[in-house]
Structure 1
Amino acid sequence: MKRNKITLVGVGLLTAGTLVLAGCAGGDDADSGDTGGGAGDAGAIITANGSEPQNPLIPTNTNETGGGKILDSIFAGLVGYAADGSVFNDVAEEITVDDPQNLTVKIREGLTFTDGEEITADNFIKAWNYGALASNEQLSSYFFEDIEGFSYEEDSELSGLEQVDDYTFTIALNKPASDFAQRLGYSAYYPLPDVAFDDLDAFGENPIGNGPYMLDGEGAWQHDVGIDLVVNPDYDGPRTPANGGLNIKFYASQDAAYADLLGGELDVLDALPDSAFATFESDLGDRAVNQPAAIFQSFTIPERLEHFSGEEGNLRRQAISMAINRAEITDVIFQGTRTPASDFTSPVIDGWSDSLTGSEVLDFNEAKAQELWAEADAISPWSGEFQLAYNADGGHQAWVDATVNSIKNVLGIEASGAPYPTFAELRGKVTDRTIETAFRTGWQADYPGLYNFLGPLYATNAGSNDGDYSSAEFDGLIADGISSTDPDTANGLFQQAQEVLLKDLPVLPLWYSNVVGGFSENVENVEFGWNSVPLFYQITKG
């Protein structure tokens, strides 16, 4: 297979250049999808765990892990990410950074979607414009914010996208974005075939992609049950599957998934129930996985809730944060598979710091928590019960119960968990702003950059800003950081931005997650990536 390259011209994007070029430094095996292990049965189906997607499978309207896992298997973007987060070309032949605000993208010729349509520059331009239009209300529209012509207020095409020829287009940014080339492997930037725009809702139920896998015909997606994917024979890229397809099962509980893994009915599991933490390493031996991943856990208390706006709300958030014994919960409940958070990002991402000013608000401090709560009561006496919503199908009950009990015991208030049956149901309430309690949140990085943990979650109007937080000071700092061409300067600004977050607490950081999972005796060449998702295409069986 022809080896592709990403060219980053000029010193303006040194940060992106360093990261992107790393994807080309691994040799031809890295680009060819070589598993480095035994061949196995090329027709074998790999079974893996998953969850029912929140929405139809439209790339620009999917910002949760259940749908994302599927999209990343059936679509291919301009670039992709190796297990260590380094970047390699997929659809792109070359991405050139002409200057800090202008990129030129050349895609490979002869690539097709699974319906036979050739992939051209226009497929990217139309898909991105659809995702960016305000009236389309796409959850990932935020990812087009830096392109000229973007507007949150009115429908406006992305004037910064210009087709040069069938296989080349340019991207003009409205401000420097030093990691923009690195972002282009995220699902929001996937192309769409022309047929998608005939009926997007119908397309989302049976999407036509261009990735290593495709849906196994009509009825492949059985809602709340699973989805069947087979190898796309026309895929010509670096993620060539070493197996025959994927059966992603949607489990109602992680206990059920783990039981299937132990029973040989599931090949790969990327999330274990807390009931297995004490035994999974002895159960699975060298098939157990416990490694750092770019995952951050938190919960959000919207300002619109009674008692949580203004100065009173700020005092109560600080009090609740300091009433949570994170060290005890991660030790007792998670048994070493989580680490108490000291910031809003992840230790596996360059620029992480455990010494930010104000991080003491994340320390367990009963006396200080009670003092702050009393100050809030002096503004407006507390009434009601504090509740923390979570999805019951995700194995969260034990830590939620421990968290609310810690809050209850320290602050002397009624506090409880509020379970929703499914992740989709919880996220639906969060997205339409009808949830009336605090709720579980978190972030699994879209691409391996510090900014990705900050901009999409806390910038004004950001697509994943579930608490509708807005701070001019924070917005200014992350804007300056993403515009900086020096990585150390950028990371310093991102750290300052987090110090603003530590004062305001738009979410309450809890802990960093390891990817904790395992695989069966039936498979080999299992590798979990930087973002905790297995590299399915590498797995062999039989």
Structure 2
Amino acid sequence: MSPEKSIDRRKFLTLAGTTAATVTVAGCGGGGGGAQTTQPADGDGEDGGGDGDGGDGTDGDDGDGDGGDGGDGDGGDDQTDLSGTLVYARGDHPENYDPQQTTSGEVAKVTNQIFDTLIQFAPGSGGELEAALATDYSLEGTTATLELREGVTFHNGEEFTASDFEATWRRFTQSDYDYYLGDENRSGYGPFTLGNWIESVDASEDYSLTIELQQQYAPFLRNLAMFAAAVLSESQIEEMGTSGDDQVALGTQPVGTGPFAFDQLDNPNSRILLTANAEFWGDGPNVANVVFKTIQENSTRVQDVINGDSHITDNLDSDGFQRADSSDSATLLRKNGINVGYMAFNMARREEFRDRQVRRAISYAVNTEAIVNQIYQGFATEADQPLPPDVLGHNEDIEPYPHDKDQARSLLEEAGYADGFEFELATFSNPRGYNPSPIQTANQVKSDLEEIGLSVTINQFSTFSPYLDYTDQGKHDACFLGWYTDNADPDNFLYVLLDPKVSLDAVPDGQDWVTFDTEGYSTLNVSAWANTDYMETVREAQRTYDEGERESMYVEANQIAHDEAPWVFLDYAETLRAINEAVVEDSYTISSVGGPYLNTVQIQ
């Protein structure tokens, strides 16, 4: 980092605005009651997937690909005259920026500027891999081999070597490591990104890595490009201390090798300041500073971009993207996204949802066509399976559940619930890309289900972090969530979200659900669904390197999920960004995976 490019706190607040956001947080009781408190905004981002800037998906990788040389990058040679501050407006302000402690896309927007991964997704692509900290990479059988970039330094001045990745992996996944983050602190990404697959890491040579896997695992190279696989500094890990609580503090002073260095975390005013890394190995950066500022009110946030007080914003609601689209001073950028929005049934909590007939009845009753066309204003399409279009294994023969109230009532009667029942629907408030109008969507669901005799109580959360805690703990009856792909591989949807990650033997005979306290259970599966036919299929697919065989297995898995209906499949959404005219045309690249790629952005 070049110290002279820093700005002081007064200038920082002047650039970003000085109003602290306060919010009311709903209580987390099962019925939606509980105390309410006012506190600084601290919500997280969408459930999973980094920023996920949108775009066309591609077929999953077969696991055998080789990486190219990747070049040496510009290394910051032309950055001596950097000036200007890029302002990114968002709806929430998490207070911890450790990529190993979160599933939050709001965190990833920041950490993707600070950290690098061994491999990265090419900007503007649908998930193609390219060189990053590793200049060459391959996967053969159970062995991944990577050659590393030389001459890269962390923001603390330490040189990047293979041992940094080894320390990163051990901190995230190895409980016998002196600097292990801790079971209670690490995010759910630890097991499914690295922990479940890596047998050993050989970092004996500074610029070579040999990783042995426990089994063949087709998405592994793609996992190395995910935001949760960001490479940390071994020296910082060791300096933080040996307890999990010591390691938590890394999230307030993160050190990476990325294009921008962490400078100021201003929680009272919900601001973050990053400064340009003049020693960056790749393209850019092209501005001296990046400020992430929080504006919770959607209309105010969009107007901030239109006025030129911010340069980029995301998570637009239907009113916001129309205002940006019609503005003379802003542009609406849009692309197909690799994402899914859904309403999950918690089978561990509610006996009624353990009956497939009930789940299917609700799927017939919810008018998803009205949701995508009227509430989302056509910036999304109806979902019919967990896997979005354009990803390997999407089943083209499946259609969305039609809106059929008579069929819904008939199925409820067959299941013994002709008189209906009551349940809670938990929802977040601020728009997510896969659900730009969550409160309107919840009211639509409530209205639709009342017409078939069900009573729905909406439990509305004002910020996302408490909401994710609530669903992670299984306190919801039903809930809205969604997912942006982390790596453009079908495994990232079908295994990550709907496989409980428990032993097949842990699923009782004749039962297709498990409790949240089952050993090994992944709370990313908020339905508690545990269909063993489905589990066997997706687990076999992740061990298979033949693309055609994988595709057939995922087509089958999607059919099972559609028929068993652990979710109401809501939508596949476009990814939308509002961009002020001060951003130089084509310098900001929307991507379906990874990002936002702020290192290339120029402002005028």
Give the TM-score category using the shorter length: 0.7 to 0.9
TM-score by length of 2: 0.77
| Matched AA of 2:574 | N
Seen in structure 2, the aligned counterparts of structure 1 residues 431 and 463 have a Cα distance that, compared at 3 Å, is: closer
- Measured in 2, the distance between the counterparts of 1:267 and 1:100 equals 46
> In the alignment, which residue of structure 1 is the partner of 2:593?
531
Match of 1:259 among 274, 297, 303: 303
Deviations 1:56-91 (A, max 9, x none): 222222212111111111100001112212211111
Structure 1 position 182 matched with structure 2 position 182: no
Seen in structure 2, the aligned counterparts of structure 1 residues 510 and 77 have a Cα distance that, compared at 3 Å, is: same
Seen in structure 2, the aligned counterparts of structure 1 residues 53 and 201 have a Cα distance that, compared at 3 Å, is: farther
Residues 145, 210 of structure 2: 8 Å contact kept = yes
Match of 2:290 among 246, 266, 275: 246
- Measured in 1, the distance between the counterparts of 2:465 and 2:154 equals 28
Matches within 5 A, 1:364-383: 364-378=403-417, 382-383=420-421
Residues 251, 393 of structure 1: 8 Å contact kept = no
Tell me by how many angstroms 1:338 deviates. Answer: 0.6
| Matched AA of 1:323 | A
Tell me by how many angstroms 1:441 deviates. Answer: 0.8
Structure 1 position 515 matched with structure 2 position 589: no
Seen in structure 2, the aligned counterparts of structure 1 residues 174 and 215 have a Cα distance that, compared at 3 Å, is: same
Give percent identity, aligned residues only. 19
- Measured in 1, the distance between the counterparts of 2:300 and 2:330 equals 22
> In the alignment, which residue of structure 1 is the partner of 2:165?
124
Residues 292, 348 of structure 1: 8 Å contact kept = no
Seen in structure 2, the aligned counterparts of structure 1 residues 144 and 415 have a Cα distance that, compared at 3 Å, is: same
- Measured in 1, the distance between the counterparts of 2:268 and 2:214 equals 40
Seen in structure 2, the aligned counterparts of structure 1 residues 96 and 531 have a Cα distance that, compared at 3 Å, is: closer
Structure 1 position 419 matched with structure 2 position 460: yes
- Measured in 1, the distance between the counterparts of 2:270 and 2:583 equals 23
Residues 53, 64 of structure 1: 8 Å contact kept = no
> In the alignment, which residue of structure 1 is the partner of 2:265?
220
- Measured in 2, the distance between the counterparts of 1:64 and 1:94 equals 29
Residues 302, 308 of structure 1: 8 Å contact kept = no
> In the alignment, which residue of structure 2 is the partner of 1:71?
111
> In the alignment, which residue of structure 2 is the partner of 1:235?
280
> In the alignment, which residue of structure 2 is the partner of 1:108?
149
> In the alignment, which residue of structure 1 is the partner of 2:312?
268
- Measured in 1, the distance between the counterparts of 2:336 and 2:489 equals 15
- Measured in 2, the distance between the counterparts of 1:381 and 1:224 equals 50
| Matched AA of 2:541 | G
SS in structure 1 at match of 2:575: strand
> In the alignment, which residue of structure 2 is the partner of 1:155?
none
> In the alignment, which residue of structure 1 is the partner of 2:386?
344
Deviations 1:364-402 (A, max 9, x none): 222111111222335x96433442422346542222222
Tell me by how many angstroms 1:279 deviates. Answer: 4.3
SS in structure 2 at match of 1:136: coil
- Measured in 2, the distance between the counterparts of 1:114 and 1:346 equals 38
- Measured in 1, the distance between the counterparts of 2:547 and 2:567 equals 26
Tell me by how many angstroms 1:226 deviates. Answer: 2.4
Seen in structure 2, the aligned counterparts of structure 1 residues 285 and 488 have a Cα distance that, compared at 3 Å, is: farther
- Measured in 2, the distance between the counterparts of 1:277 and 1:118 equals 44
- Measured in 1, the distance between the counterparts of 2:284 and 2:163 equals 25
Match of 1:399 among 441, 447, 455: 441
SS in structure 1 at match of 2:415: helix
Tell me by how many angstroms 1:307 deviates. Answer: 3.5
Match of 1:144 among 165, 175, 194: 194
Matches within 5 A, 1:109-508: 109-133=150-174, 135-137=182-184, 138-139=186-187, 140-141=189-190, 142-148=192-198, 159-193=199-233, 194-197=235-238, 198=241, 199-216=246-263, 219-222=264-267, 225-237=270-282, 239-283=283-327, 287-311=331-355, 314-356=356-398, 359=399, 362-378=401-417, 382-392=420-430, 395-409=437-451, 411-433=452-474, 435-460=475-500, 461-462=521-522, 464-508=524-568
Tell me by how many angstroms 1:101 deviates. Answer: 0.9
| Matched AA of 1:56 | N
Matches within 5 A, 1:43-82: 43-52=83-92, 56-82=96-122
- Measured in 2, the distance between the counterparts of 1:70 and 1:14 equals 27
> In the alignment, which residue of structure 2 is the partner of 1:154?
none
Tell me by how many angstroms 1:445 deviates. Answer: 0.7
| Matched AA of 2:294 | F
* Unaligned runs of at least 5 residues, structure 1: 1-12, 149-158
- Measured in 2, the distance between the counterparts of 1:396 and 1:248 equals 24
Tell me by how many angstroms 1:417 deviates. Answer: 2.9
Residues 242, 540 of structure 1: 8 Å contact kept = yes
Residues 284, 518 of structure 1: 8 Å contact kept = no
Tell me by how many angstroms 1:162 deviates. Answer: 2.1
* Unaligned runs of at least 5 residues, structure 2: 1-59, 176-181, 501-520
- Measured in 2, the distance between the counterparts of 1:14 and 1:336 equals 31
| Matched AA of 1:526 | Y
Residues 95, 267 of structure 2: 8 Å contact kept = no
Residues 278, 335 of structure 1: 8 Å contact kept = no
Seen in structure 2, the aligned counterparts of structure 1 residues 401 and 242 have a Cα distance that, compared at 3 Å, is: same
Tell me by how many angstroms 1:143 deviates. Answer: 1.4
- Measured in 2, the distance between the counterparts of 1:80 and 1:374 equals 51
SS in structure 1 at match of 2:170: helix
Tell me by how many angstroms 1:303 deviates. Answer: 0.9
Residues 431, 466 of structure 1: 8 Å contact kept = yes
SS in structure 2 at match of 1:308: helix
SS in structure 2 at match of 1:509: strand
| Count of equivalent residues | 499
Residues 109, 596 of structure 2: 8 Å contact kept = no
Residues 123, 191 of structure 1: 8 Å contact kept = yes
Deviations 1:426-457 (A, max 9, x none): 11212233x33311110011112122111111
- Measured in 2, the distance between the counterparts of 1:33 and 1:369 equals 61
Deviations 1:462-496 (A, max 9, x none): 46222333232222111221222221211111121
Seen in structure 2, the aligned counterparts of structure 1 residues 393 and 288 have a Cα distance that, compared at 3 Å, is: closer
Residues 342, 568 of structure 2: 8 Å contact kept = yes
Further displaced range: 65-74 or 245-254: 245-254
- Measured in 2, the distance between the counterparts of 1:333 and 1:91 equals 43
> In the alignment, which residue of structure 2 is the partner of 1:7?
none
Alpha carbon RMSD of aligned pairs, Å?
A: 2.8
SS in structure 2 at match of 1:160: strand
Residues 114, 214 of structure 1: 8 Å contact kept = yes
- Measured in 2, the distance between the counterparts of 1:32 and 1:86 equals 22
